[in-house]
Chain A
């Protein structure tokens, strides 16, 4: 005979045990992350000041700063975004809306998902051969930005496709039934409705790209840069407009600068590295927060 009360009591005990176990796991993970952040902040926070943000790297740790690194990071990411977003979104739209479903497109799909898992240093090797040696872009912002663009392209493509797939079939049919062409359906409906999902994917891709070091080291990004890329507008001695000259300039980025400092002897350089790390964390977490906000705001407007 089954004793219902005993069974219920046993079920409750198991439930409580699982509850505690899950809670403990969450605490372990979160406290590891918190410890990491606190450690970084204790070491680095005091080092962050105006001087640190506006100085070039230096032999003397007290005078060193991350000016060339954060400017380089922004410019590289600019190139990455300008390439990866249009390419990735267009490829996603094509695969989801235009491509016929056959074995060929299935292979392409599988490979795009696989590409997202390829180690980033492999992209660096590919870029070294293609951009640096083949196209002679040199060890420039252009090469770096394109490398990272290739790295995050699968993320953008997959995000675009998933966002489009989430749009219900009956919305598409409504537009087609009114006589819209495929391009009109994409432009008037699919893109606006999937903007939240695409935006989220893009931001997550970009925040991954900001932290990448290996592929940029592979293509030969320098670790010590004591100058800024040429400004697009030069006033002195004569007015000059050179909107794209910066793109061929050598560069460094925040994680490379950090790596450079970590590999040097001396407590002071480690402090600099931690400070650069804090800046990097703030930028990345800020971008992730932006992704959440974007998704939330667009979701709120769109319902079906």
Chain B
């Protein structure tokens, strides 16, 4: 059950976002919007939000992801860790089909997205439809050279939202959700690049939240930030997971330990081990994981 709750702070109820009609080959029911009022169960049973099944990914002839199978639980944070070049970012970018932007890339296998059971990496599935449900926060803060307001509103505008009052409401909700509202509410029309790095990254998170995604992909979101800004974003993730599913790629093992419920360790394109974060960090079952965690390589 998706609980697409709206912001933390204001208790305004906004109608569900209109999702553009996109022809879907697999299951047209999948883009039916869930009503916002859906009450969240007190202790939500962990449902599988997405399931990676025997996924392989190729850049030309180079195989970057090798036969990965992985379950992502709804309302949980899953961290992908591993040394540079192990394929964790590549795996992350399969979820919103970012690889489609570049030539000579090939997916093989399945990523099943629930509800709807759509195979994300099926070439017949329109990547835009997936990006409407799954949003992304990048390594480097990448706001558009537009105003703060326009940055957050952009995803909503793409979905055809025109009403000014509704846009304003949703922008506020998203900015509050990213814990940025109080810092920028008086200068929404100012350029996004006037913000500090940490604020820019939270703006990018607000931009990703505004479209009410089911999953947010974080690609090393704090690697360009100082410890204070990093702390804020980690807190944010903790709050966000009550209403969506998070996958985070990180180089920082302490970060993985702090923010995630499950951790997947990847090495040379393969998934070595995935388990509850505490288990991975305290008592991993594979020696390779243990070596990486204890800093003996990577």
Write the residues of chain A forming the contact surface with B, with a CB cutoff of 8 angstroms.
100-101, 168, 170-181, 184, 188-189, 193, 301-304
Contacts and interface: CB of A to CB of B under 8 A. Distances in A.
Nearest to A178: B155
B158 A180 contact: yes
B154 interface: yes
Given A178-B207, A178-B211, A303-B193, A173 B101 contact: yes
A176 B138 contact: no
B252 interface: no
A179 B140 contact: no
Contacts of B158: 178-180, 184
Contact of B142 (A174, A181, A184): A174
B14 interface: no
Contacts of B106: none
A171 B151 CA distance: 12
A239 to B, nearest CB: 43
A189 B140 CA distance: 18
A179 B98 contact: no
B204 interface: yes
A222 to B, nearest CB: 49
B144 A175 contact: yes
A176 B98 contact: yes
Given A172-B101, A303-B193, A178 B135 contact: yes
B85 interface: no
B128 interface: yes
B232 interface: no
Contact of B132 (A101, A179, A184, A304): A179
Contacts of B138: 170, 173-174, 177
B131 A178 contact: yes
A303 B190 CA distance: 13
Interface residues of B, number: 25
29 contacts: A100-B103, A101-B103, A170-B138, A170-B140, A170-B142, A173-B101, A173-B138, A174-B138, A174-B143, A174-B144, A176-B98, A177-B98, A177-B136, A177-B138, A178-B135, A178-B211, A179-B128, A179-B155, A179-B158, A179-B159, A179-B211, A184-B158, A188-B154, A189-B144, A301-B145, A302-B145, A303-B145, A303-B191, A303-B193
A183 to B, nearest CB: 11
Given A101-B103, A179-B131, A174 B204 contact: yes
A301 B143 CA distance: 14
B89 interface: no
A119 B159 CA distance: 50
Contact of B128 (A181, A303, A304): A181
B263 interface: no
Nearest to B159: A179
A168 B142 CA distance: 9
A304 B193 contact: yes
B93 to A, nearest CB: 9
A173 B145 contact: no
Interface in B48-90: none
Nearest to A181: B128
Contacts of B140: 170
Contacts of B135: 177-178
Contacts of A101: 103
B222 interface: no
B3 interface: no
B21 to A, nearest CB: 13
Contacts of A177: 96, 98, 131, 135-136, 138, 208
A176 B131 contact: yes
Contacts of A181: 128
Contacts of B136: 177
Nearest to A182: B101
A181 B103 CA distance: 17
| A-B interface, 5 closest residue pairs, ranked by CB to CB distance from nearest | A179-B131, A178-B155, A170-B142, A177-B136, A302-B145
Tell me which of B135, B136, B142, B193 has the highest count of chain A C-beta atoms within 10 A of its own C-beta. Answer: B142
A100 B135 CA distance: 26
Given A177-B136, A179-B158, A304 B204 contact: no
